[in-house]
Structures are given as C-alpha cells and as structure tokens.
C-alpha cells in the first residue's frame, strides 16, 4: 500500500521529523524528564492527540503496523480518524489486534495484553506537568524537577488522605521514574500505572499544545507515589465484564436505561472481543 | 565531486532513526543498518547514516574526519560546524574528545547535553562490558574494540552529575550501539 503522494511520507516535513527525533533520543536518555520541542500545527485541534500524532509520525516506517486506541477502544472517532490519517499519509498497515501492532498510539489507556520488546507505545498527553495544579509557574516547576523537590506532591497526597481517607486521584496518578523524575502518566486510570513498571516496550509521550516530549525506556522502574501506611491501591469496578466475564480487566460503566440499569464492560475492546471469540470457539467445540 | 547521501532520503533516515532509537532504548544491543550509503572516508556507513539522520541547520556539529567528510555532511545536512564545547553533535573518528569538555546541559535543561558519536573498530554483543540501567532487563554485555583505555572510567566519573551528561553512540562499519548517560558500565 502506498501513501498519498500529495504529502511527504507520514505527513511531517523532514526538518520537523529530525527535530522530533533528536528530542525523542534525549527524552529516552533522561527517563521521565520533559523535553521541550517545536510542536507543529496539525490538521486536527489540540486535545485530539496532536502530540501523539507528531511522535508517531516521526517514528513510523513503511514496515510498521499501527494500532490506535481511545480509552481502550479501537472504534471511537479519535482512534478511527488517526488510524485513517496514517493509512493515508504513510500507507502503513493498521490493525486493532494488540499483538500484531508494532506501534500503538493511545489516548488514556494501556492495553490489557502484555506488550513486547517489539512494540512502541505512544501516549497522547494533554498536560505533561504533574505539578501543574499545585504550581502553575513553569519556571518554578522546572526548578523543582531540577532539584527533585517533590514535597508539594506528597503534601497534596497527604491532604487527600486527611480529607477523604484515600488518595483522591483515580486517573493521572503521579509516578516516580527511576526514582528521579516525577512524571504524569497521562490521564490513564491508576489501574494501568503498574503496567508501566519495567514494561518491555518503549513508552513515548507527546504533548502537542504544551510542546513537550518525554519517555520511559524499557525495563525502567515506575513507582506510583504512596505512603507506607497508605500503599498505592489501583481501583477497579467490583464486577465481571458483562460481555466476556473478565474479572481482571479495567471496566467501563455503561448506563443502559433511565431506570438505573447499568452494565460493566471491558474498556479494552480488542481484549474483550478476543476473549468472546475464544469462548465462542470453545462453545462450538463442546457442542 | 561530492558523494551522494541516502538513496531514499525519507525512508532511509526513518530506518536509521529507528535503529538509533532502539539502540538508545536498549543500551548495548547492537543494531545493523541495511541501507546503501557510499560515504567519504574515513566515515563508516553507520556514523555517516546517523549524521544524515540527526543533524541539520539547528544542530551544530564538530567532527575530526577531515575536509572531504566535512564538506560532504555540510552539503547534505546544512549543519553549522562548531567547537567541541558548543557542538550538540560530535563525531570522533580518531581519539574522542574529553567527555568533561563537552556540553553537559544544566540541571533544568539536561537535554542540552551533547551527543557524541564515536567510530570504533568493532562492536560485539555477549562479551566485554557489563551494562545495567534503564532499558536493560538484567544485564547487557557489549565488547567494544578501538576505544582509548580508561574510557569507561572517564565516562563513569560524569555519572554523579546526572541528569547532566553526554550520550554516546558507538558506530563500527554498518553496526551501532548506544550508551545513554543512565547506563552503568562495569568492565569485565
């Protein structure tokens, strides 16, 4: 399959790709550190994944197989549009199957299937600065990162516990990378945080509006912040998936009527469909 | 006459970048480049490809490879040449410059630390140095010939400055491996 000849391969011009590539290499060399880059305007609005798309465009090659997910789903507007975009401007093969993908661009989830050394996970990040709500001045947060001075975040977690009895962040839960940099994992559910720890795949983060790129190399320590007497506890709805019965996957709550009816289904559509078809195949064999 | 650069500038640069990204993400793993590239001596195909992939007008370069190589990369990449202390990329085909003299970045902007490309004689996995750090599951082993003695200990003296530091790409023929500033080397 070839790409639309009206565009350079993968949309971006070569100067921009080189700039992003240099940024990516430094981001990998300093795990968790936010590296500024000259984010370009993309043919979609900020907040729709302009950072992730630029990272993907800078790494993507003709032999890659691309998967794009939005909150775990392959079939939502954002995921479908980005997949079609790269199919058109780079002519790459796309897939919804996690094990077949070499590059996975994600908005706010990590797939349930364990990722491998042959894969790269690209996160779309709205706000890369984990201290943003506590200290709005970037000049100050830069200094705090330089000094590894993260007391402010610990105070915030402590105040959560004092007020609510637990840390009141169910998503975008701050992590320490290699015990040096405080990092925003992007708004993934805290449930996904443990998957980042020593993941065999390379993890790249792109924030288009905020013009920052950061990375977590493979097998790098990623620790969710907590206290000895209040250890990190990822939250999961206490129910099996209605469609596939999974008791370990992250669930979405779906309201089904206006009388309080609801169901829980896997947020990772590929994982759920895979389990359903395996179960159907087993059912046929048994029959 | 100036020798040509990549046959397929867009695709070859992407291919080479992915090899460098893979090398930087998994320090000590040796990557092999497959694109055809007829670079002027003394540039090895891998070091020439890395330069074409990463440097341009925004990336000041220092190199010790002589006039023809200098003219070749300036023609194809349009990069300014700089002194060692100011270059963001450096290519050493002979004795590499003292690491402490290169750009290290600051604590607030450690990404300004230089990238040093060293052309060595050979790179082999499975023997030599014991490497640990981010990107490495337990331990990678890398055998490098052609580095000056004491290189590993010179580099480890800079480790205390982290996150400031210098990232290194080793090139031999069509092979390359990387040592980001986070990688610890034990000689053995």
Are both A145 and A197 inside the same structural domain?
yes
Nearest to B108 among A9, A146, A219 (CB): A146
Q: Residue B93: its pLDDT value, please? A: 97
Q: How confident is the model at residue B1 (pLDDT cuts 50, 70, 90)?
A: confident
- Pair of tokens at residue A205: 């983060």
- A155 and A271: one domain? no
Chain B residues with CB-CB distance to A24 below 8 A = 21
Residue A9 inside a domain? The answer is no
Residues whose CB is less than 8 angstroms from the CB of residue A222 and which lie 6 or more positions away in sequence, other chains included: A175, A176, A177, A183, A185, A193, A196, A197, A198, A199, A216
Instruction: Check whether residue A71 and residue A162 sit in a common domain.
Output: yes
* A35 & A88 share domain: yes
- What are B35-73's pLDDT values in tens digits? 999 999 999 999 999 999 999 999 999 999 999 999 999
Residue A189: alpha-carbon gap to chain centroid: 10
Segments of chain A with pLDDT less than 70: 1
Instruction: List CB contacts (< 8 A) between B54 and chain A.
Output: 18, 21-22, 25
Of A171, A204, A224, the residue that ends a domain is A224
CB contact under 8 Å between A61 and B11, yes or no, is yes
Contacts of A153 (CB under 8 A, 6+ apart): A130, A131, A134, A174, A182, A225
Contacts B56 to A, Cβ<8 Å:
15, 18
- For residue A2, being part of any structural domain is answered with no
Residue in chain A nearest B136 by alpha carbon: A219
Burial class of residue A238 in the structure, from the number of CB atoms within 10 Å of its CB (0-12 exposed, 13-18 middle, 19+ buried): exposed
Residues in B closer than 8 angstroms to A143, CB to CB, are 108
A253 inside domain: yes
Flag whether residue A137 sits within 8 Å of chain B, measured between CB atoms.
Answer: no
Instruction: Say which residues have a Cβ less than 8 Å from residue A284's Cβ, sequence separation at least 6.
Output: none
Tell me which residue range forms the domain holding A125. 14-224
The verdict on A124 and A248 lying in the same domain is: no
B77-116: pLDDT as tens digits: 999 999 999 999 999 999 999 999 999 999 999 999 999 9
CA distance B97 to B183: 20
Q: Is residue A230 part of a domain?
A: no
User: Residue A7 falls within a domain, yes or no?
Assistant: no
Position A117 in a domain: yes
Do both A25 and A137 map to the same domain?
yes
Residues A287 and A210 in one domain: no
- For residue A19, is it within any domain? yes
Statement to judge: residues A209 and A131 lie in one domain? yes
Kindly give, in sequence order, each residue whose CB lies less than 8 Å from that of residue B154, ignoring residues fewer than 6 positions away: B98, B99, B100
- Say whether B10 and A9 touch across the interface (CB within 8 A): yes
Residue A2 confidence (pLDDT): 82
The predicted pLDDT at position A1 comes to 60
Is A36 contained in some domain? yes
Distance CA A216, CA A179 (A): 12
Structurally, chain A folds into a number of domains equal to 2
Token pair recorded at residue B73: 């990369």
Given A182, A200, A224, the domain boundary residue is A224
Give the tokens for residue B55: 């440097």
- Provide the number of CB pairs (under 8 Å) joining chain A to chain B: 110
Confidence label for B160 from pLDDT (cuts 50, 70 and 90): very high
Angle at the Cα of B96 from the Cα atoms of B92 and B101, rounded to 5 degrees: 115
> At which of A204, A224, A244 does a domain end?
A224
**Residues A262 and A160 placed together within one structural domain of the fold:** no
One domain for residues A85 and A207: yes
Q: Which domains, and CATH codes, for chain B?
A: 9-186 (3.40.50.11310)
Distance of CA B21 to the CA centre of its chain: 12
The nearest alpha carbon in chain A to B180 belongs to: A29
Give the residues across from A212 on adjacent strands. Answer: A36, A207
Residues A96 and A74: beta-carbon distance below 8 Å: yes
Calculate the average pLDDT of chain A: 96
Q: Is A170 on the interface with B (CB under 8 A)?
A: no
- Residue A156: give its domain's CATH number: 3.40.50.11310
DSSP string, A171-195: BS--EEETTTEEE---S-BGGGHHH
**CA separation (Å) from A265 to A169, A236, A242?**
22, 12, 6
Q: For B139, name the nearest residue in chain A, comparing CA atoms only.
A: A219
Q: What residues of A are in contact with residue B136 (Cβ under 8 Å)?
A: 219
Question: Do A65 and A34 sit in the same domain of this protein?
Answer: yes
Q: A176 and A86 in one domain?
A: yes
Catalytic residue numbers of A?
A: 32, 241, 244, 266, 272
Q: What is the least distance, in Å, from the CA of A47 to any CA of chain B?
A: 26
How far apart CA B148 and CA B97 sit, in angstroms, is 11
| Closest residue in A to B169 (Cα–Cα) | A25
Q: Do A15 and B56 touch (CB under 8 A)?
A: yes
List the single best residue of B13, B15, B21 to mutate versus A (max A Cβ within 10 A).
B21
| CB contact at 8 A, A9 and A189 | no
């Amino acid at each position: 399959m070839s790409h639309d000849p009206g565009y350079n391969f993968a949309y971006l011009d070569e100067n921009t790709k080189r700039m992003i590539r240099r940024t990516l290499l430094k981001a990998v060399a300093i795990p968790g550190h936010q590296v500024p880059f000259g984010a370009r305007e993309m043919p979609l609005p900020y907040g729709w994944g302009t950072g992730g798309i630029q990272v993907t465009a800078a790494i993507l090659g003709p032999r890659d197989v691309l998967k794009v997910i939005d909150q775990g789903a392959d079939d939502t507007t954002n995921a479908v549009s980005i997949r079609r975009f790269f199919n058109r401007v780079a002519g790459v093969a796309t897939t919804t199957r996690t094990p077949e993908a070499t590059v996975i661009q994600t908005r706010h989830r990590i797939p349930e299937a364990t990722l491998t050394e042959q894969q790269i996970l690209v996160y779309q990040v709205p706000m890369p600065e984990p201290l943003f709500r506590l200290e709005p001045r970037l000049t100050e947060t830069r200094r705090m990162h330089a000094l590894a001075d993260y007391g402010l975040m610990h105070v915030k977690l402590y105040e959560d516990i004092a007020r609510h009895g637990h840390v009141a962040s169910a998503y975008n839960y701050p992590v320490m990378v290699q015990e040096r940099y405080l990092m925003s994992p992007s708004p993934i559910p805290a449930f996904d945080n443990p998957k980042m720890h020593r993941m065999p795949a390379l993890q790249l983060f792109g924030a288009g509006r905020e013009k920052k790129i950061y990375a977590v190399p493979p097998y790098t320590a990623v620790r969710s912040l907590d206290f000895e007497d209040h250890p990190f506890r990822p939250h999961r709805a206490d129910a099996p998936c209605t469609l596939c019965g999974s008791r370990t996957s992250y669930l979405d709550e779906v309201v089904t009527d206006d009388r309080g009816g609801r169901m829980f289904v896997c947020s990772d559509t590929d994982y759920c469909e895979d389990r359903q078809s395996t179960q159907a195949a087993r059912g046929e064999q048994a029959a | 006459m100036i020798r040509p650069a990549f046959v397929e500038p867009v695709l070859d640069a992407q291919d080479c970048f992915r090899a460098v990204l893979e090398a930087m993400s998994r320090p000590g793993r040796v990557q092999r480049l497959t694109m055809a590239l007829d670079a002027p001596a003394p540039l090895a195909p891998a070091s020439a490809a890395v330069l074409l992939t990463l440097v341009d007008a925004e990336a000041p370069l220092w190199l010790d490879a002589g006039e023809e190589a200098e003219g070749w990369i300036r023609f194809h990449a349009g990069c300014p040449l700089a002194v060692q202390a100011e270059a963001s990329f450096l290519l050493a085909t002979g004795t590499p410059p003292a690491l402490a003299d290169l750009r290290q970045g600051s604590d607030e902007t450690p990404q300004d630390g230089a990238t040093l490309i060293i052309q060595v004689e050979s790179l082999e996995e499975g023997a030599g140095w014991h490497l640990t750090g981010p990107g490495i599951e337990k331990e990678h082993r890398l055998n490098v010939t052609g580095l000056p003695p004491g290189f590993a200990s010179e580099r480890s003296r800079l480790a205390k400055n982290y996150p400031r530091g210098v990232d290194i790409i080793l090139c031999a023929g069509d092979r390359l491996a990387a040592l980001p500033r986070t990688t610890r080397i034990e000689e053995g």
